[in-house]
Amino acid sequence: MPESSAPRFIRGLRRILVGYRRLPIKAKVGIAILSVYILVAIIGPWLAPYDPNATTTQAVPEGPTLHHLFGTSATGGDVLSQILIGTRATVILGLATGVIATTLSVLVGTAAGYLGGYADEALSLLANIFLVMPVLPLLVVILGYLPHTGEVPTAIVLSALGWAWGARVMRAQTMSLRNRDFVLAAREVGERPWRIIVFELMPNQIGLIAASFVGTVFYAILTSVALAFLGITNFSDWNYGDILYWAQSGSAVNLGAWWWYVFPGVTVAVLGMSLVLINFGLDELSNPRLRSSRATRKLGRRSWRPADPTPVVRNYVEGML
C-alpha cells in the first residue's frame, strides 16, 4: 500500500522522539551537542568562510576580529575555517574506529563469555594483554614506521588496540546471561552457537554495546587528536589535532596568541564532553541508583545519613567507562 509508507516513517520518527524524551537529561544534552558536530562534519566545508590553507604576507597571528571570528594563524589561515573543515576528518575517524573496535569487542567478549572453557581463557588472556599495553607509545612506534600516516592507518591501528576494554565488559555481561532460561531454551531447540550469540544474546546487550561504542569513539577522538598534535599525521587535510600542532609549532603560547589553540582545544573538549555526557546518561539508565533526583539533593542539604533504608534497585551494574 503506497499510503502506509509515509505514516510508518512518521511513526518510526515519533518512536525515536519518544525514546529520546525518556532519556536522562545528561544524555539528551550530549546527543544534542554531538548532532551539531555531525552536522558540521557534513556541511562544514560549505560553511567555512575562507580557504583554511590561505596564506597572507602577515607574520604574526591576528586576534579575533569581525572578519576572522576565531582569529588567524601566524600565516594568516582562518582558524574558524580550519575548525569547520577539520571537523569532518576527526568525527569520521572517531565513528569509524568506534564501529570497528566495538564490533571486535562484541564478537570477542560475547564469544568468550558464551563459550567458556579454553576459548574463554585464550580470548580473555588476549584481551588482558591488549588492556595493559601502553597504547599511545605503541601507536607512536607503529605510525612512526609507516611511510604514510593518515586517517585509514590511524583508524585501523586505533581499533586494533582499542577493543579490549569493551570485550571485558561484554564478557562479564554475557556470562550473567548465559544460563538464563531463554538462552537455555534456544540451546535446547538446537540453535547453533553463533545464532544464539547474534540473535539471543546481543539484543539483550544493546545498552552495553552503545556505552562501549560511545566510550571507544571518545578514546579514538582524543587519541587521534593527541597523535596529530604530536605531528604524527598527514597534513593533506585538516583535523583538530593539525590546528593544535601548527599552533604549538608556531609557539602560539609564547606569543600570547590564545585564540590559536583555545578555540580548537575547546572544540575538542566540548566534543569529548558530549560523549562523556551520553555515557553518564546511559549509565543512569541502567543503574537508577546513580540518578541524582531533586529529592536526594534536598536530602543532601539536611546531612542525610546514607544508611537510611532507601527503596532502590539492588543490581549494581559495573559499567563505568
Partner 1 sequence: MAFIARRLAFYVAAVWAAVTINFVIPRVMPGNAVTSALSRFQNLTPQVVKALEIEFGFHPKGSLLTQYLQYWNSVLHFNLGVSTSQYPTHVSTIIGETLPWTLALVGVATVLSFAIGTLLGVYAAWRRGGWLDRALPGLTLLQATPYFFLALLLIYLFAIKLGWLPFGQGYSLGLSPGFNWAFISSAITHSILPALTIIATSVGGWMLQMRNVMLTTISEDYILVAQAKGLSGRRVMFTYGARNAVLPNIAGFALSLGYVVAGALVMEIVFSYPGVGFTLYNAVTSNDYPLMQGIFLVISLAVLSASLLADIVYAIADPRARTRSAF
Beta strands in the chain (DSSP E): none
Shortest CB 113 distance to partner 1, Å: 10
CB of 8 to partner 1, least distance (A): 38
Burial of 171 (0-12, 13-18, 19+ CB in 10 A): buried
Does residue 254 belong to the site contacting partner 1 (CB under 8 A)?
Answer: yes
Count of Cβ atoms closer than 10 Å to residue 315 Cβ: 8
Question: Binding segment for partner 1 among 12-20, 70-78, 143-151, 204-212 (CB under 8 A)?
Answer: 143-151
Report the nearest approach of partner 1 to the CB of residue 25 (Å): 11
CA distance 165 to 279: 15
The correct pick among 178, 198, 258, 286 for binding partner 1 (CB under 8 A) is: 258
Q: Return the number of the residue (69 or 230) whose C-beta is nearest partner 1.
A: 230
Query: Residue 125: which residues within 8 A CB-CB, separation 6 or more?
Result: none
Phi-psi region for residue 303, left (φ > 0), alpha (ψ -120 to 50) or beta? Answer: left
Contacting partner 1 (CB under 8 A), which of 2, 117, 147, 203?
147
The torsion defined by the Cα of 240, 88, 282 and 293, in degrees rounded to 10, comes to: 70
Contact between 92 and partner 1 per CB under 8 A: no
For partner 1, which is the closer residue by CB, 177 or 273?
273
Name residues contacting partner 1, limited to 297-316 (CB under 8 A).
297-301, 303-307, 309-310, 312, 316
Q: Which of residues 37-76 bind partner 1 (CB under 8 A)?
A: none
* Residue 39 Cβ vs partner 1, minimum distance, rounded to whole Å: 20
Which residues partner with 137 through β-bridges?
none
